[in-house]
Structure 1
């Protein structure tokens, strides 16, 4: 009988998996998809979440360098689990809010596929996409945005911006926002022409190509005031 007890204990150690949720002491739940059994944990220091842990269906992944603001539930991390590359398999998309303010929103997106574990998939930086594909001009009465063969000309006089407050050119990137809509990853980037004046936004729809997410379409949308 004495020989059986160690054998039984060893057997139990092999077949009983660790409970990942027991490792989350000292962490807050910052986002959860109960339907998909996905939970995001983080530590909080002042107004910032840091040192993230991702519990994906019982498997725990550490993301120590992720950050997200912690002082406003509106800007909590977002979890999506959808097929966004048309391979009939779901991808995990995490959107983090790293900063916000008047005319400012900075988001970061992470996309993963699952093959014997979560594998990071590169998403082309929206600012790099803009620098490579968008040309702009700005005068005291007109903004011009050229994307490939498409040229958008916008009368900015309704904004009544003083020439002394007008930027030299359109500035993109004050707002970088991501969303998943209709099974597509979309980035929206603001176009600013003065400290408080926005001419519109660029909308980038991503597609999966050459083992990464790249721009499929880039569209300019003028501000409602124009």
Structure 2
């Protein structure tokens, strides 16, 4: 039900905004090298690639390697002179990629972090995140938000008799119960909250966080934020969920 509603919601958002996204908002992180993108130490010249973004002190630089009709289809990442190509797609949403160079794994060595806006429109704002080992440029997995929603978050939506909605969210042993001030789709039967329209990654105090908008209706109307903080799991070499907090909205909020 969550996925079906999420697809309807995203299609509606794109139609309303006129924006096109390359993804539904799901974040897919792949780690490791392939023969097609080995690490090199060759310099990227301005004549070959355009600098898109860089970290504050320019330790990490992101270059556009292939661009077709305004869409960047392949990039080169440069970390202290080492380079590697990735097939990350970057569309022109008006928001440039963000690049960071900081220690997220608590090993005393900074990682390269790239956050890319994958779509923006009315009620629609999605990002991807990539975290790389700065020494060998291998990508470190970040647990997919859909996996977290499906395995660790339970939601329920019920219609009240006064044209309001009763919302219940359960996560990490806590239960949140609140009413939403109106029913945006009286003729639409929705038993669970939908996700995928708002997926915003950010760094805060050397922690990876993601804000998920939880919505009702096809338009959509957002009733709460699910704020997830990640932690690094050394055994898995992966960023996994640490804390989940729910922030209810009293009134309608756009993405």
* TM-score, scaled to structure 1: 0.83
How many residue pairs are counted as aligned between the two chains? 204
- Equivalences for residues 104-183 of structure 1 within 5 A: 104-115=124-135, 117-140=136-159, 141-156=165-180, 158-165=181-188, 167-183=190-206
Rounded to whole Å, the distance in 2 between the matches of 1:170 and 1:197 is 10
Q: 1:106-134 CA distances to partner (integer Å, 9 max, x unpaired)? A: 2111111233x212111110110111001
Give me the CA root mean square deviation.
2.0
The equivalent residue for 1:188 is: 211
Residue matched to 2:111: 91
Tell me if structure 2 keeps the 8 A contact 1:68–1:99.
no
- Residues 118 and 128, structure 2, Cα contact 8 Å, conserved in 1: yes
Please state which structure has a larger fraction of its residues in strand: 1
Provide the rounded CA distance (Å) in 1 between the counterparts of 2:100 and 2:56.
Answer: 12
Corresponding residue for 2:245? 219
Q: Any unmatched runs of 5+ in structure 2?
A: 1-39, 160-164
Alpha carbons of structure 1 residues 69 and 159: separation in structure 2 relative to 1, 3 Å: farther
Deviation at 1:96, TM superposition (A): 1.2
Q: Distance in 1 between matches of 2:213 and 2:70?
A: 25
Q: What SS class does the counterpart of residue 173 from structure 1 fall into?
A: coil
Q: Which residue of 2 aligns with 1:61?
A: 84
Higher relative helix content: 1
CA distance in 1: counterparts of 2:149 and 2:192, whole angstroms: 14
Q: 1:18 to 1:204 in 2, by over 3 A?
A: closer
Deviation per CA, 1:145-169: give whole Å up to 9, x if none.
011321111201x235241246332
Counterpart-to-counterpart distance in 2, 1:18 and 1:84: 25
Give the alignment's TM-score, normalised by structure 2.
0.74
**Distance in 2 between the 1:101 and 1:26 partners?**
32
Does the CA contact (< 8 Å) of 1:184 and 1:207 recur in 2? yes
Larger radius of gyration: 1
